Structure 1
C-alpha cells in the first residue's frame, strides 16, 4: 500500500468514527490525518493544493458546527477524490 492509499484509508476510518458519534476520537485522528496528508498535497500539481485548502476550510467549519455527518462525507468522499485526482495529474 502506498503512503497515499494509507492516508485515504485512514480518512475513511476517521469518517466512520464520526458517523459512530465518537467525535473526540475522530477529531484527534483527523489532526493526525491532516498532518500526514499535507506533505503529499504540497507535492501535487495544478490546483490540488488550493482545492485542498478549500476542503480543509469546509471540514473545519463542519467540525466547529459539530456537523459530524457532513464532515464524515467530506473525509470519505471528497478527501479521497481530491487526493486520487492529484496523484493522476
Structure 2
C-alpha cells in the first residue's frame, strides 16, 4: 500500500468513526491524518494546496460546531477527491 492509499484509507476510517459518534477517537485520528497528508499536499500543484487550506478550514469549523456528519462527508468525499486530483496520472 502506498502512502497515498494509506492516507485515503485512514480518511475513510476517520469518517466512519465520526459517523458512529466516536468523536474523541475520530478527532485524535484526524490530527494524525492531517499530519500524514500534509507532506503529500506540499508535493502537489499549487491549486491543490490552496483548496487544501480551504477544506481544512471547513472541516475545523464543523469540528468546532460538533457537526460530525458534515465533517465525515468532507473526509470521505472532498478530502479523497482533492488528494486524488493532485496525484500524477
- In the superposition, the TM-score normalised over structure 2's length comes to 0.97
- List per-residue Cα deviations over 1:30-77 (Å, max 9, x = no partner): 000000000110110130000000000000000000000000000000
- For structure 1, which runs of at least 5 residues remain unmatched after alignment? none
The Cα RMSD (Å) is: 0.9
Q: Where does residue 47 of structure 2 map in the other structure?
A: 47
2: CA distance, partners of 1:64 / 1:88: 34
Q: Where does residue 73 of structure 2 map in the other structure?
A: 73
Q: Where does residue 38 of structure 2 map in the other structure?
A: 38
Aligned pair count reads 89
2: CA distance, partners of 1:46 / 1:86: 9
2: CA distance, partners of 1:12 / 1:60: 17
Q: Where does residue 21 of structure 1 map in the other structure?
A: 21
Aligned-residue offset at 1:88: 3.2
- In the superposition, the TM-score normalised over structure 1's length comes to 0.97
